[in-house]
Amino acid sequence: MAENQPRGPGEHTVTAAMIVIGNEILSGRVQDKNLNFIATRLNALGIRLTEARVVIDQHDAIVKAVNETRAAYDYVFTSGGIGPTHDDITADSVAAAFCVGIDHNPEAVAILEAHYQPGMLNEARLRMARIPDGAELVENPVSHAPGFRLENVYVFAGIPSIMQAMFESIRHQLIGGAPIQSIQVTSYLPEGVIAGPLGAIQADFPDLDMGSYPFYRGQRFGTTVVFRGTDEADLNAAAEAFRDIVRQNDQEPIDGEVS
Amino acid sequence: MAENQPRGPGEHTVTAAMIVIGNEILSGRVQDKNLNFIATRLNALGIRLTEARVVIDQHDAIVKAVNETRAAYDYVFTSGGIGPTHDDITADSVAAAFCVGIDHNPEAVAILEAHYQPGMLNEARLRMARIPDGAELVENPVSHAPGFRLENVYVFAGIPSIMQAMFESIRHQLIGGAPIQSIQVTSYLPEGVIAGPLGAIQADFPDLDMGSYPFYRGQRFGTTVVFRGTDEADLNAAAEAFRDIVRQNDQEPIDGEVS
């Protein structure tokens, strides 16, 4: 495998990190939607999103986040900061993180020239063709200005519809592990009642991930327990053991969530 | 100021980081709501949320995130992982990050004893009274099990209604800088048209933060520009200069956002 290809799965769990770039998320002006999209899609591909960071539009912050995550995880996805304005500094920051140059990429320039009417491709818009040396373009079917991939780092736009389209155009490149399956069991038992027996089930199935998520809805406390893993037989056995706990507490277990 | 008090503002901008702890966010099962709440509230207090991380329910990941952020920012807020189940490891991880012990805190035990009916305070629930040595409790008016503060790190629950109540109960402790004000100006001009002139306005007002947020709605591209800063006269002047740019492009600037 060439050095500049994403690392695929070995014997290990395939992992990923997400970096959301943008002051607007950290000021509270905008509620991020990209993390949840990436999380859900990666899950389906057998890739475990293991960390996410939200960083400000600031060169050093982006360089640090990119370098720390690309060393630690198989894949890194960034969203935001690749438009034409002065605060769009993601491409330059990623180039700096990799210690490579950055310039107008002829392929990207050609995409923009084909898209804009004559005379409309101004200097600011041409900034969107600045791509780090050695990167491969990521297609943008919505607004044309491309994203890019450098080694295991994918750089996407921040607008959710464009980010999602970019993800779909590279999804076939991602190599996951065994699909992660999950079973959810909900009851109106508070966490404090199920905690002991659930801990015992976790001890019996150490390879499964068992998460307990309390909720408080309509003046009632309840808990959804999520069993996640790649072994279906173990998953079913663990979930059934937990349903028995719920029944022993005079409740009927509900498969899935309640809303 | 005693060593275990949060650092207040000096001459510098007061900064904060948020750590969202929970596999459920990273698996996509749940859309985080706590980051946006904290971001908005801190903004109003003149505290700049500068970084956020989402980490899995794993000891080393939590220790690392806590230690890196508490050294870099004035305040750190965590959400999640302080319930009674086996996957609630935040308190132990924070104690490890600070290299302090952790045990059942008498004040926290008393709160739980007062809340639960006789015989209901089982071993799992008592885990919620495990508080790192030297920490101060944070009141939980919703479900009683407290959060805590250790130096500049506030540890809150993950359920949004409880996290919000905990934040409100410590809000008076937070010392911010000058309130950050903002003006938003929207137009249906694409970013590529405003990018050049906006960059010139940014150069004229280097102390303001000018963010350009493109949107794509109803088949139309547009841009909301957000001017943020502490100097009201500068803010008004910069926003008016930008409104002139919009008018020069034969559009009427819209104050605020369009939805």
Is residue A45 less than 8 Å (CB to CB) from chain B?
no
Return the C-alpha torsion angle B78, B82, B83, B87, nearest 10.
90
pLDDT at B3: 37
Residues A30 and A157 both lie in one domain: yes
pLDDT digits 0-9 by tens, B139-194: 999 989 999 999 999 999 999 999 999 999 999 999 998 888 899 999 999 899 99
Residues B228 and B169 both lie in one domain: no
Is residue B256 less than 8 Å (CB to CB) from chain A?
no
Contact A44, A181 (CB under 8 A): no
Test the A interface: residue of B15, B29, B126 with most A CBs within 10 Å: B29
Closest CA to A22 of B178, B209, B243: B209
Closest CA to A235 of A178, A156, A173: A178
Among chain B residues, the shortest Cα distance to A183 is held by: B29
Residues B189 and B168 both lie in one domain: no
Mean pLDDT of B117-134: 94
Interface contact flag, B28 A50, Cβ < 8 Å: no
Note which residues in 195-214 of chain A have CB less than 8 A from chain B. Answer: 195-196, 198-199, 202, 209-214
Mean pLDDT of B78-89: 94
Residues B29 and B133 both lie in one domain: yes
Note which residues in 225-244 of chain B have CB less than 8 A from chain A. Answer: 226, 228
Is residue B137 less than 8 Å (CB to CB) from chain A?
no
Cα of A117 to nearest chain B Cα, Å: 13
Is residue B43 less than 8 Å (CB to CB) from chain A?
yes
A41 contact residues in B (CB cutoff 8 A): 28
Residues B131 and B248 both lie in one domain: no
DSSP string, B130-199: EEETT-EEE--TTT---EEEETTEEEE-SSHHHHHHHHHHHGGG----SPPEEEEEEESS-HHHHHHHHH
- Report the CATH number that the domain containing residue B224 is assigned in CATH: 3.30.70.1130
Mean pLDDT of B79-95: 95
Residues B89 and B203 both lie in one domain: no
Counting the structural domains of chain B, the total is 2
- Percent of chain A residues past pLDDT 70, beyond the cut: 95
ipTM above 0.95, yes or no: no
How confident is the prediction for chain B on average, in pLDDT?
92
Residues A158 and A68 both lie in one domain: yes
pLDDT at B156: 98
pLDDT at A186: 96
Is residue A49 less than 8 Å (CB to CB) from chain B?
yes
Inside any domain, residue A215 = yes
Say how many C-beta atoms besides its own lie within 10 A of residue B34's C-beta. Answer: 24
Is residue B27 less than 8 Å (CB to CB) from chain A?
yes
Distance separating alpha carbons of residues B158 and A107, to the nearest angstrom:
46
Is residue B66 less than 8 Å (CB to CB) from chain A?
no
Pick A180 or B167 by higher pLDDT.
Answer: B167
Is residue A126 less than 8 Å (CB to CB) from chain B?
no
Helix %, strand %, coil % of chain B (to 5): 40, 25, 35
Interface contact flag, A39 B26, Cβ < 8 Å: yes
pLDDT digits 0-9 by tens, A118-155: 889 999 999 999 999 999 999 999 989 999 999 999 99
User: Which own/partner pairs from B102-109 qualify as long-range (CB within 8 Å, at least 24 positions apart)?
Assistant: B102/B130, B102/B131, B102/B132, B102/B133, B103/B130, B103/B131, B103/B133, B104/B129, B104/B130, B104/B131, B105/B129, B105/B130, B105/B131, B105/B135, B105/B137, B107/B137, B108/B137, B108/B145, B108/B146
Q: How far is CA B20 from CA A47, A142, A207, B171, in A?
A: 20, 32, 24, 19
Of the pLDDT bands very low, low, confident and very high (cuts 50, 70, 90), residue B259 is: low
A38 contact residues in B (CB cutoff 8 A): 28
The one-letter amino acid code at A67 reads: N
pLDDT at A204: 96
Contact B216, B84 (CB under 8 A): no
pLDDT digits 0-9 by tens, A41-52: 998 899 999 999
Residues B122 and B226 both lie in one domain: no
pLDDT at A239: 97
Mean pLDDT of A19-34: 92
Inside any domain, residue B89 = yes
Pick A4 or B119 by higher pLDDT.
Answer: B119
**HSE toward the beta carbon, residue B160, CA cutoff 13 A:** 11
Interface contact flag, A213 B143, Cβ < 8 Å: no
Return the C-alpha torsion angle A237, B56, B133, B164, nearest 10.
-100
If phi > 0 it is left, if psi is from -120 to 50 it is alpha, else beta; for residue A42 that is: alpha
Residues A43 and A147 both lie in one domain: yes
Among chain B residues, the shortest Cα distance to A203 is held by: B86
* Dihedral pair phi/psi, residue B224, rounded to 5°: -105, 125
Both tokens of B116, joined, read 């639960």
Cα of A252 to nearest chain B Cα, Å: 21
How confident is the prediction for chain A on average, in pLDDT?
92
User: Per residue, what are the HEC states of A122-154?
Assistant: CHHHHHHHEEECCCEEECCCCCCCCEEEECCEE
pLDDT at A4: 37
The one-letter amino acid code at A142 reads: V
Point out the residue among B24, B28, B210 whose CB comes nearest to the CB of A213. B24
Containing structural domain, residue A20: 15-173
pLDDT digits 0-9 by tens, B41-50: 998 899 999 9
Residues B248 and B156 both lie in one domain: no
Q: Inform me whether the pLDDT recorded for B12 exceeds 90.
A: no
Of the pLDDT bands very low, low, confident and very high (cuts 50, 70, 90), residue A167 is: very high
Q: Which of A114, A143, A173 is the last residue of a domain?
A: A173
- Report the CATH number that the domain containing residue A151 is assigned in CATH: 3.40.980.10
Is residue A251 less than 8 Å (CB to CB) from chain B?
no
